[in-house]
Structure 1
Amino acid sequence: MVGDEGLGEREVGVLALERMSWASPGAKERAIRERLDMAPVRYYQLLNALLDDPRALAHDPVTVNRLRRVRTTRRTDR
């Protein structure tokens, strides 16, 4: 989905990577660089912003809600 109502390709790509499981350390970071052509730091900044974006929730509610729970747990543990 691209346009005013939906997410851009990059945002959709971020959510798609978050649905995947990673077999080895560094595999996710390598995929971020290769598939999305961005630094992992920028990826996580974008991901955090997506978790508060209603368009992301509409696009992939299972992934967004799971990541919101993880984020809340991590914030609570600090």
Structure 2
Amino acid sequence: MSAGGLLLIIIAALIIFGPNKLPELGRVVGRTFKEFKDATRDIMEDQPQDSKPQPPKELPASVQESSKAEDRRLPD
């Protein structure tokens, strides 16, 4: 968009909304963009950074030994 196009949009906005309504309209648009940016940032922070699956963690030796002993017993 060139400077001429931007100037044309500003003049059209002045004619449609009037000079008294433009500051309020600008604040509303600014708040909307800020909320959108904050929501986008929150969504990006919630997603995991690396998409590679993590290998399963090893169980402590005491837990592994107790689970092996329980596996050997027959059900009652």
**Normalization by structure 1: what TM-score?**
0.27
**Normalization by structure 2: what TM-score?**
0.27
Structure ranking higher on relative contact order (CA contacts 8 Å, 6+ apart): 1
